[in-house]
A = this chain, B = another copy of it.
Amino acid sequence: MASPTIQDVAEKAGVSIATVSRVYNSPNSVKEATRDKVLRAAEALNYAPKLAARALTLQKTDIIGVILPGLGGEFFSELIRSIDQVAYQHGFHIMLSTSHSHRNEVDLLLRLMGQGWVDGLILMVPVLGRLSMPPLPRIDLPIVLLNLPETNGQYIHINVDNYRGAYLITKHLLDHGYNPIAMIRGPDGNHDAETREKGFGAAMTERGLNPEGGDNRYLERGDFTRRSGYLAMLRLLSLPVPPRAVFAANDEMAIGAFFAARQHGLRIPEQIAIAGFDDIDVASCISPTLTTVHVPITELGMMAAQKLIEVIKSTKENGAMPQKILLSTGLVIRESCGCSPTGAALQA
């Protein structure tokens, strides 16, 4: 037997479907006796309103879509957790998708967005930053873009200060006097990766190092996974003059680099210093603890959900209320850079 509909309940309770509907939507507008009758019938039939039908009529789903570049690792885990937390508070559910790297992301976006499955969308697709402008099909759905370069301003942008974070940590490494300093950057065409590299480059150039068009052997490329960091570090270590310090564009790669260095019998930070980016949980679990750039992941997720829901709930009239938010990053000096365990830096 197919799942019961409002019809079935109405019949069984001997009322009209409208009444049944009311029992669920404005219980007070129906006489108690009737309500009981309906509820009993519903109970007996094991009835629950079909959300699909409801959505069709109401033109909303109370679901917010979240599209991320991936799901693995602590970064996304925490991001999802924080989004879910505030979504839940506001009665929203989460529909999760990843852009799965391959396959045209925009296609995926369309599938979800245009289609009225979700009331709004949180999007983190760093590769969109590259050439896919206009990246998003014009669609009238509230959208929050995470870590994407500003578009023509019809969305809400929330960014993390990648540039400054990378700049600062590179300076810190420079202040230690390390040379050469290598960077393991993220994938090509990834906006985060590119911004972080720019910060690195700026700090280096400021010191007259690594000038434009200069030596690129100390610039390795990974894909933000631990394994890629491991591999990149291996390549770095096979250089005629291995780097004295390495800045990895995220903690996962930094940890990969950690293992590679250790496997080569190198002591960290005595023989090679390592710094990361993100400040995920493990960063403080490994030893030596990882010096990194703190990214307010939780805040990012909560803010994204908050802003999105705000827009969703605001009367549809005042269309998109674009805004740009920049979350600041900050240095987390720990041991892997060569600072003492107590956190005292050997400033230049």
A residues adjacent to B (C-beta < 8 A)? 1-3, 46-56, 61, 63, 70-74, 76-78, 80-81, 84, 88, 93-98, 100, 110-117, 137-140, 255, 281-282, 285-287
Instruction: Give 22 A-B contacts (CB < 8 Å), ordered by A residue.
Output: A3-B116, A3-B140, A48-B110, A48-B111, A48-B114, A51-B116, A51-B117, A52-B52, A52-B115, A53-B56, A63-B95, A72-B78, A77-B77, A84-B97, A88-B100, A93-B96, A93-B112, A94-B97, A96-B96, A255-B285, A281-B282, A286-B286
Contact B96 A95 (CB under 8 A): yes
Residues of B within 8 A of A61 (CB): 52
Contact A96 B110 (CB under 8 A): no
Tell me, in angstroms, the Cα distance from A286 to B140 when the chains sit together.
Answer: 48
Residues of B within 8 A of A81 (CB): 70-72
A321 CB, nearest partner CB in chain B, Å: 18
Contact B50 A116 (CB under 8 A): yes
Tell me, in angstroms, the Cα distance from A45 to B80 when the chains sit together.
Answer: 33
Chain B residue at smallest Cβ distance from A97: B93
Residues of B within 8 A of A56 (CB): 50, 52-53, 56
A125 CB, nearest partner CB in chain B, Å: 15
- For the A-B complex with A46-B114, A71-B77 known, give 6 more contacts whose Cβ atoms are closer than 8 Å: A2-B140, A76-B77, A93-B112, A94-B97, A95-B95, A96-B96
A96 CB, nearest partner CB in chain B, Å: 5
Known A46-B138, A115-B51, A286-B285: A80·B96 in contact at CB below 8 Å: yes
